[in-house]
Amino acid sequence: MSSGLNLLIGISMGLNLLALGSSRLPSLIRVAAAQGVVLGLMPLLMEHHFSWLVALTAVTTAVVKGVVIPTLLRHAMRAANIDRDLDPLIGFIPSLLLGAAGTIAAVALVRVVPLLPEHRGLLLVPGSVAAILTGFILLIARSKAISQVCGYLILDNGVYLFGLLLIHAMPLLVEAGILLDLTVAVFVIGIIVDRIQRAFDSLDTRKLTALHE
């Protein structure tokens, strides 16, 4: 079971690097969606006995993160008529190198973090730290609002992954509440994206510096 979980977390960490190295918004959205599906289904592998609550939460998480939110982002991308983030604040190669260095550091960090015996063989902590770092880099380095929303999604995936450490101690209804917060936040960001597009005919968030009272 641990090998299967580590495989999924390893895939998630690889998707982080794909996100950092991609300039195409459709690819970035697909990466965020794939990561949401991979992490959303992980609780099914962590439970020793089948539970309808766990299954419902896992499927709901995978559907919302992997289908619903990416569909909304694709709609916003088509409405704005953009498909690339060509002028990032931090270049794609430096972002990729920074993400790779952060991932290596996260894997090394797990050796000094006190964990329960059942978690010591898993990559939950480095996977979580790597995803959070990737999300922060996308939020800071990208200029397009859609790229930043994808960064927020990946960051939330990291928080979700860390929360799986407490899957046996914390009711999964708390995870469902986190998912609800994420959905509401993305809708709010969608409204902001629409306002930026209407006001500036662009989704470049640096246009906001042109605002005056």
- CA nearest neighbour of 143 among 101, 76, 196: 196
Q: What is the pLDDT of residue 131?
A: 92
- By the 8 A CB rule, do 14 and 39 touch? no
Q: Does pTM top 0.75 for this prediction?
A: yes
Question: What residues have CB less than 8 Å from 106, skipping those under 6 apart?
Answer: 125, 126, 127, 129, 130, 133
Domain spans, the chain:
2-210
Reading the block at residue 73, the tokens are: 């982002």
CA distance 154 to 148: 10
- The rounded average pLDDT for each run of 10 residues, N- to C-terminus, in the chain (213 residues) is 79 91 87 88 75 77 83 78 78 89 86 68 84 91 82 85 70 57 63 59 54 49
SS3 label, residue 204: strand
Q: Which residues partner with 192 through β-bridges?
A: none
HSE-CB for 174 with a 13 A CA cutoff: 10
**Identity of the amino acid at 83:** D
Residues in the chain: 213
Q: What is the torsional sign of CA 180, 183, 185, 191?
A: negative
DSSP state of 171: -
Structure tokens at 142: 């990208």
Contact 162, 124 (CB under 8 A): yes
